[in-house]
A and B are shown apart, each in its own frame.
Chain A
Amino acid sequence: MGHQEVKVVLNASVFLAAMLLDEPKEVSDGAMRMLLDIDSGKVIAHVPDRFEDEVLGGLVEAISKGRPVSAIVFATFLHFWEKFRVHSRNTDWRAEEVFQAALRWRVSYYDAIYLVVAQKVGATYWTADKKLLRFLRQHRFHDLPASAWIGDYR
């Protein structure tokens, strides 16, 4: 009997939440649990190529604002980047389908990239964005992938 692969798509907010000391414990603990599961191979993480811009852009912003971000943070990003299955524009997702999905689901183009990747690979989309999840649950679009809040990750 083959075992079922546990697949997740994680938003950049999840990765950053694990790094931040000031986030509520449930959020940072959930994010940390997910990273440890990814590292051990218990779950397979899929991310769009855009994830890199989001995380590293966020770190540059943090450093520019004088936050105490060390080289270890960048090294941690590189450690995980090698473990992620990265989905690239024009190879794994196309601008047209994301554009249509964003309009259909009434979310941003950015949100739609993650959701389209989750839909394609059959993964649950994990985010720290409670407002987005509330919106998606209220509207119950029939073709949306499963989505969840990182504070609920066990």
Chain B
Amino acid sequence: MAKSRGKTKADERKLLAELEDAKSEVTQMFEALRTGAISEDEFKQWWQARVAFKGRGFLRSMLERRELARGWDTKRSKSS
């Protein structure tokens, strides 16, 4: 039990350290773009490699849930 609590604490610390590193990387990259230290293309390459992720259909399913929340007649809204 105590061992597992210790492991959880260690995991939490690792996650927090990872987040701190990530925050400083993000700040540095936006700063570099603003000051012209890197080009917009270089920034976009970093974004694609480090920030963006694959999520096929993710946005579509989110928007479909919004549509349901509107109580729209799906058939009618599709044809409109």
B27 on the A face (CB < 8 A):
yes
Q: Binding site of A, secondary structure by majority: helix, strand, loop or mixed?
A: helix
> Whose C-beta in chain B lies nearest to the C-beta of A110?
B69
B contact residues, range? 35 or more
B7 adjacent to chain A (CB < 8 Å): no
Q: Are A17 and B51 in contact (CB under 8 A)?
A: no
Whether A138 is near chain B, meaning CB under 8 Å from some CB there, is yes
What's the count of A-B pairs with C-beta under 8 Å?
Answer: 107
A128–B26 CA distance with the chains assembled, in angstroms:
24
Query: Does A79 reach chain B (CB closer than 8 Å)?
Result: yes
Query: Is the Cβ of A135 less than 8 Å from the Cβ of B80?
Result: yes
Asked if B1 is at the interface (CB within 8 A of a chain A CB), the reply is: no
Inter-chain contact A21/B54, CB cutoff 8 Å? yes
Q: Does B5 contact A (CB under 8 A)?
A: no
Give the distance to chain B from A9, nearest Cβ to Cβ, in Å. Answer: 16
Residues of chain A in range 88-131 having any CB-CB distance to chain B below 8 Å? 106-111, 128-129, 131
Residue among B56, B59, B72 having the largest count of chain A Cβ atoms under 10 Å: B59
- A: interface residue count bin: 35 or more
Interface SS of chain B: helix
- Once the chains bind, are A20 and B34 in contact (CB under 8 Å)? no
Contact A70 B23 (CB under 8 A): no
Cα-based distance from A110 to B66 in the complex (angstroms): 8
Q: Which residues between 24 and 79 of chain B lie within 8 Å of chain A, taking CB atoms? A: 25-27, 30, 33-34, 40, 44, 47-48, 50-59, 62-63, 66-67, 69-72, 77
Q: Is the CB of B54 within 8 A of A68?
A: yes
CA of A114 to CA of B51 in the docked complex: distance in angstroms?
A: 26
Name the distance in Å between A145's Cβ and chain B's nearest Cβ: 18
B residues apposed to A, CB below 8 Å: 15, 18-19, 21-23, 25-27, 30, 33-34, 40, 44, 47-48, 50-59, 62-63, 66-67, 69-72, 77, 80
A-B contact pairs, 16 of them (CB 8 A): A19-B51, A19-B53, A20-B52, A20-B53, A20-B58, A21-B48, A22-B54, A36-B40, A39-B34, A67-B55, A69-B53, A72-B25, A75-B25, A76-B26, A79-B23, A129-B63
Interface residues of A (CB under 8 A from B): 12-13, 16-23, 28, 32, 36, 39-40, 58, 62, 67-76, 78-79, 106-111, 128-129, 131-132, 134-135, 138
